[in-house]
Structure 1
């Protein structure tokens, strides 16, 4: 009797699995354009946020480095935005950094994605913490507790944010790009 039940059970479970996979694939294909559109809009917003005064931008590719050149209403270069990421305490931090390469300083920072500890490391998204990086010179050390006021109880997340920004600066400097 048990031998007759097992093949029926396997067939039923296989049909359920194939049907579920088909439905999930259909829903994924149906929602993919909206997801991509939302991601593009979020990126555009981040670029214009980290480049105060920019009204539009142009993508600049240099090898495997992608920059976004921010332009004001007269077509003058305001600065450059660069997306960078690095390991935080609990998650990968993904940020957009606005850079003034002529003045060699950070303009502004926007966090695109993070999943740090709620109430501690996640406080890196707060304006008070992020604003510390505004107008920081490329030559600053970006060390938590020295150049940056670390979030109490979240020194690792604070330093990780600094490291991701410093990494973006390093990418710009190593690219030898004539901006």
Structure 2
């Protein structure tokens, strides 16, 4: 009986020390992690709307209305040139893919053309749905018109379709649903 208590006490002490060490590591690194996420967010915005020199958050009631009406859109940014003129919008959406939520950043210029798409955090299957982060997939969206919803084709895509990732049609449809929600939000902002 003494051996069981001794072993249990030793395991408890080891677990407590490990938990404390993890908590301290988290405390020390949380600001750096938040800074890295912010930098990645800024880079993604610049990549999808290169014409913008700065971005302004859409907030308050306007954002609340967009988020409520155009789920899975969760964030909206106005892209501004050096003179403060709007050159387009960037939308962050979190549609569902095969492995759960996929972060999709979509840029739409003021002419209504998709200027770019990037994929952020996701839990898609490595080697399949995770290929959404490959330029060969997300670059298909650049330059597409927003006049009609974008479709997903397993083969022979038209000018309004993207080619699905082989073996990951659900992931491809998830990303595309985020892009289409962003397009709808764009037209709502512009009064169409």
CA gap 1:114/1:5 in 2 versus in 1, 3 angstroms:
same
When residues 18 and 119 of structure 1 are mapped into structure 2, their CA distance, relative to the original with a 3 A threshold, is: closer
2:76 corresponds, among 67, 85, 90, to 67
CA distance in 1, matches of 2:126, 2:115: 27
Residue among 89, 108, 112 paired with 2:116: 108
Q: Do the aligned residues in 1 keep the contact of 2:108 with 2:186 (CA within 8 Å)? A: no
Q: Aligned ranges for residues 166-177 of structure 1 at < 5 Å?
A: 166-173=180-187
State the shift of 1:136 in Å.
2.5
CA root-mean-square deviation: 2.2
Equivalent of residue 92 in structure 1, options 84, 101, 116: 101
* Residues 1:144 and 1:57: Cα distance change in structure 2 (over 3 Å): same
Matches within 5 A, 1:24-43: 24-43=22-41
Show structure 1 runs of 5+ residues with no match: none
1:162 matched to 2:173? The reply is no
Report how far residue 63 of structure 1 moved: 4.1
Change in 2 beyond 3 A, CA 1:13/1:119: closer
CA distance in 1, matches of 2:51, 2:187: 23
Equivalent of 1:53, from 47, 51, 54?
Answer: 51
Q: TM-score, normalised by structure 1?
A: 0.84
- 1:133-161 CA distances to partner (integer Å, 9 max, x unpaired)? 12333332311114222233332222222
Aligned residues: 174
1:36 Cα deviation after fit: 0.7
Any stretches of 5+ residues in structure 2 without a counterpart?
A: 68-74
Q: Counterparts of 1:91 and 1:122 in 2: how far apart (Å)? A: 12
